[in-house]
Amino acid sequence: MKGNAASDDEDTKAEETEENFSGNNDQEEGVSEGNIFITDGKYLYVLKKPDDVYKGTRSLVIYSADDGELGKCSEISLGMINDSTHIDYGTMYVEQDKLILTGYAYDISDRTAPKYVNTLTQSGYNISSRITDGVLYMVSWYTPSTSCTRDEYEKYIPMYNNMLVGEDNIYCPVYINDRSYTVIGSVELDNPTTYKDTEAVVLNPDNMYVSRNAIYFLEQIYE
């Protein structure tokens, strides 16, 4: 009986240790929002800002947190991925053994040696992102050029991975208050090598809310 009591007590302590850490402050249960600091109870993931914010370079450090001891596992330099001269990382996600930085994915099954997986791009400035049910949703704001001809589609139609958004995937509301697009791209994290789907709506994303089943946008209409 004493042995069983000790075993039960150890199991309870183990469960408390596994669950005793702060999660992200998400608005909707089951819909993850990105952050610059994340913990999964075993590791800390910290997105560090550069000394010169105008260069846009950053690094991401992974720390282990075993038995209250903080140890550095690895550091990912984010300054010149794919020869980019300016990269602005706003948030990151940690989903199982994948680490996502608004389009960049890393395999972190070995926290001491992260492996780069893929880069995905879409038109516009990054507005926000969410992850739910294993799918990453990226939202960007794209303003097309006004100095182009009818046949220069790439100047006024949103693109993803250098491909035009299909005409069946572009929606124009009844009331149009802006010539900008809100571009929504979705990526399955089990296969982060291509887009699952891409949509574009002609509106300015003033406010956004994401539930498990839908993405809502609120735009002001001036008459």
Q: Tell me the pLDDT band of 164, cut-offs 50, 70 and 90.
A: very high
Q: Tell me the pLDDT band of 51, cut-offs 50, 70 and 90.
A: low
Of 115-119, 142-146, 206-210, 217-221, least confident by mean pLDDT is 217-221
Average pLDDT over residues 90-115: 85
Q: Tell me the pLDDT band of 152, cut-offs 50, 70 and 90.
A: very high
Q: Tell me the pLDDT band of 29, cut-offs 50, 70 and 90.
A: confident
The pLDDT assigned to 52 comes to 61
pTM across the whole model: 0.79
Q: Percentage of the chain with pLDDT > 70?
A: 80
Average pLDDT over residues 137-145: 91
For residue 184, is pLDDT > 90?
A: yes
DSSP 13: H
The pLDDT assigned to 7 comes to 47
3 state SS for the chain: CHHHHHHHHHHHHHHHHHHCCCCCCCCCCCCECCECEEECCCEEEEEECCCCHHHCCCEEEEEEEECCEEEEEEEEECCCHHHCCCCCCCCEEEECCEEEECCEEEECCCCCCCEEEEECCECCEEEEEEEECCEEEEEEEECCCCCCCCCCHHHCCCEECCEECCHHHEECCCCCCCCCEEEEEEEECCCCCCCCEEEEEECCCCEEEECCCCEEEECCCCC
- Least Cα distance to 31 among 41, 23, 42 occurs for 23
Q: How many CB atoms lie within 10 A of CB 62?
A: 21
CA dist 131 → 21, 28, 110, 127, 188 (Å) = 20, 11, 22, 14, 10
Higher-pLDDT residue of 186 and 14 is 186
The pLDDT assigned to 137 comes to 92
Q: Tell me the pLDDT band of 82, cut-offs 50, 70 and 90.
A: low
Q: Give the 3-state secondary structure of residue 143.
A: coil
The pLDDT assigned to 171 comes to 92
The pLDDT assigned to 6 comes to 45
**To the nearest whole number, what is the mean pLDDT of the chain?**
80
For residue 2, what is the enclosing H or E element? helix 2-19
The pLDDT assigned to 110 comes to 92
